Amino acid sequence: MVVEGGNDHPSFQRSPRVLLTEAEISAAVEDLLREDAFVIDIETDSLSFHLNNLLWVGLGAYGRIYLIPCGHLRGVVLEPEHVVKIAACLYYPEDDERHWTPITRKPSWKMIDVRKETVYAVAPKQLFPHEVMALLRPLLFSNRGKIGHNLKFDLMSLAKYFGEEIPPGPYHDTIVLRHCLDENDGPFDLKRLTCDWFGIGVDPQTGHIDYKKRTAFYPNMGKAGIENFGLDEVARYLAKDLRYCWMMYQAFFPLLKRRGVQAVYDFEMSLYPIIMAMEYEGFPFDLSQMDEVRKELKDRQADVEQKVWNQTGDTFPLSNTNAKRWVMFEEATRDKETGKRIPEYGNSNRLLRSQKLPVRSRTPGQRLPQVTQTVLEYYSDDGNKMAELFLEWSLLEKLRGTFIDGLEKHLRYPRQGLPTIHTSFKQHGTVTGRLSASDPNLQQLPRGTVIRKLFVAGEGHDLIVADYDQIELRCAGYSSQDPEMLRVFKQGQDIHALAASAMLQIPLDKVTKEQRQVGKTQNFGTLYGAGEDKIAAVAGVSKKRAAAFIRNYFDMFSGLESWKRRELKLAIERGDKTAPLTWPPYVVIPPNGRRRRLPDLFHPDGWEKLRAERQAINAHVQGFASNITKLAMLELFKVLEPFPAQMIAQVHDEIVIRVTKEASGEVLSLVQSTMSGVRNPEGDPILGEIPLVVSAATGPSWADAKQ
């Protein structure tokens, strides 16, 4: 069945084609098996890959597109929705007042607009999903490359038709491809990328985007529910997804090599099967402790609120953005009629006490001070306690909303055992290369979070939680080659206690737990640009003494600051100041050359430039640490294959593995030796002489295995 015209091809006269019979599908499979790679996209009735039902399958390669409906209930559009004129008496029944004229009480011949619904043809006979998958198996399980936009969702959704087996690679994901080329180019949805690429709806003079034009060009039928459209409408829509994904791959894949990031993309795609395996396996979840955890979170939020209220002198909802503006900057929304500021909040007529901080950025419209997470993190890094409290409350609110109130939509209930959570791990969700997570976001669960006790191993199993000790500082030591940092790590000394000893001018063996925390803050503060305000707040000393602490620290690790200056200088030299968005400055992240592009290193505003400098060093160190963790995952995936063990999560520097109790001890030892032995692409120890130290433990829950 032909739906619309397209490129000529030896196999077919017109494209795309809707395939309805076994013979048509088999011919398409035979044709695509002649190609090195093909593009695939599917439509389902939900985003739960375990439970969704397959509605359409789209396949394609150069010059042709094949579309396979699996039970679409509407045929092609015979008559589109439209408006007609009709007499009121012919439309409204006699018992409706609008049928009659108001005074003469005669049938009203007033012409009215009546909307006529779309008329569809009867849907043609189609194959069932399991029948389609049986015919496509030779193609999907071949060694031909599979290309897709968020390909893993499509392949995991199809696995249920193949006995829970995910079709093998080679894989190519155009989301990952575009992210490797420019991590700042998000969001990475296909429609947005395509419209930007073709300039659809963009005013060339102002850059303003006309979203109505974009929707007309590329409607989001998937979001609206493709079952609500005709067979031909869905075919045209799905053909666009396939066509533009294929075009994007063909156009942008060669740029990887030209821009020096081919190795980055190849590395990320080698990780692709591991990520799919983690998502598909899921994390067992214990609902029996929900009430206890809910109460703990509520109590912690109440404690944070009380601390804020004590400092501000009155109560107010911490969700009130306008109140937070006043508390931070002594600015608030103006009354629409009088133009006067409205600064009062709470249960009394007193003004909330303000921190009176300088405003760093404003909203585009009303020019109000922004209190975004980025702004609050900036002031938190500078030691502002109120910013820290606002951030803590916001985190607790997110945890409560995601893992308590909104948890049900994330749970899958298998026939046996505990329900499982199947987080989506994204390779394009951060600018540094770290994996991010969503639905739900496990990255929100820092160590010590009470919610971690709900994530369990399940009966007969243990969780192994392993992570690298001080991995970011070790990466900084390797990159800077600071002699003292190299010595400290090679000799296995505690760098946080050592930093505290140097800063506080006390013997190493006299450093207390609280003083070690000061050293830890200084270690990370030096890396990421925290100043004397932050050190003073943590150490509980004056800014003058904190400044002395920092001087002592730089005397001890003198190579660290000079390395940071060199990195920033190199980053700026790689950019073009006359075209900062086209050729921005960038940091190169070891060991495969990932880039972090930072146009704001050229920014004239001091705060914006300072933030970009912090981001540059953060990207180098955090991205390097992330790459080491990913290399460890690749090795673990291979060595764990003979064991009843499976990686189920990767959060920051932690790797979580579910293993049977019988194999727990052996696998724990194997995990530690594998992670500590990570090597670079040349086969040498990844951090040279600096050892990788791994902490790993087992337990029945995530909280028990890693405090």
Report DSSP letters for 271-305, one per residue: HHHHHHHHHHH-EEB-GGGHHHHHHHHHHHHHHHH
% of the chain surpassing 90 pLDDT: 60
pLDDT digits (tens, 9 = 90+) for 615-668: 999 999 999 999 999 999 999 999 999 999 999 999 988 999 999 999 999 999
Residue 3 has pLDDT above 50, yes or no: no
What pLDDT band is residue 10 in, cutting at 50, 70 and 90? very low
How many Å apart are CA 42 and CA 46, to the nearest integer?
11
Q: What is the pLDDT of residue 540?
A: 67
With a CB cutoff of 8 Å and minimum separation 6, the contacts of 441 are: 398, 402, 423
Indicate the domain borders of the chain: 17-73+125-259, 82-116, 287-408, 410-472+625-705, 473-588
User: What are the φ and ψ backbone dihedral angles of 628, each rounded to 5 degrees?
Assistant: -65, -45
Q: Write out the two tokens for 57.
A: 């399958």
Q: Between these two residues, 526 and 69, which has the higher pLDDT value?
A: 69
Contact call for residues 499 and 490 (beta carbons, < 8 A): no
Rounded to an integer, what distance in angstroms lies between the CA atom of residue 342 and that of residue 322?
9
Contact 650, 435 (CB under 8 A): yes
- Is 90 exceeded by the pLDDT of residue 410? no
Which residue reads 């990952």 in tokens?
176
Question: pLDDT per residue over 130-141, tens digit each?
Answer: 999 999 999 999
**Segment 326-385, tens digit of pLDDT:** 888 887 665 555 555 555 554 445 567 888 888 877 877 777 888 888 888 878 877 788
Given a cut of 50, whether residue 469 has pLDDT beyond it is yes
Tell me which residue of 518, 483, 489, 525 sits closest to 504, measured CA to CA. 518
The Cα 663–Cα 88 span in angstroms is: 79
CATH T-level assignment (fold) for domain 410-472+625-705? Alpha-Beta Plaits (3.30.70)
Mean pLDDT of 672-694: 95
Average pLDDT over residues 497-502: 84
Q: Please report the pLDDT score of residue 348 as a whole number.
A: 47
188/428 Cα distance (integer angstroms): 8
Helix (H, G, I), strand (E, B) or coil at 82: strand
How does pLDDT run across 525-559, given as a tens digit for each residue? 777 766 677 677 666 667 787 787 778 778 888 89
Q: What is the pLDDT of residue 624?
A: 97
- Confidence (pLDDT) at 366: 75
**Over residues 432-458, mean pLDDT:** 88
What is the residue-averaged pLDDT of the chain?
A: 89
**506: confidence class by pLDDT, cuts 50, 70, 90:** confident
pLDDT digits (tens, 9 = 90+) for 568-580: 999 999 999 999 8
pLDDT digits (tens, 9 = 90+) for 42-63: 999 988 899 899 999 999 999 9
Q: In angstroms, rounded to a whole number, what is the distance separating the alpha carbons of residues 137 and 80?
A: 37
pLDDT at 665: 95
Rounded Cα–Cα distance for residues 646 and 634 (Å): 13
User: 287-408: which CATH topology?
Assistant: Taq DNA Polymerase; Chain T, domain 4 (1.20.1060)
Overall pTM surpassing 0.95 (yes/no): no
CB of 132 closer than 8 Å to CB of 70: yes
pLDDT number for residue 6:
32
pLDDT tens sequence across 190-225:
999 999 999 999 988 888 899 999 999 999 888 889
Q: What's the pLDDT score for residue 277?
A: 97
DSSP conformation class of 161 = G
> Could you read off the pLDDT of 108-152 as tens digits, one per residue?
999 988 898 999 999 999 999 999 999 999 999 999 999 999 999
Mean pLDDT for the stretch of residues 85-95: 90
**Assigned architecture for domain 17-73+125-259:** 2-Layer Sandwich (3.30)
- Whether 320 shows a pLDDT value over 90: the answer reads no
| Helices (H) then strands (E): counts for the chain | 24, 21
Is the pLDDT at 85 greater than 70, yes or no? yes
pLDDT of the residue at 592:
93
Mean pLDDT of 670-675: 97
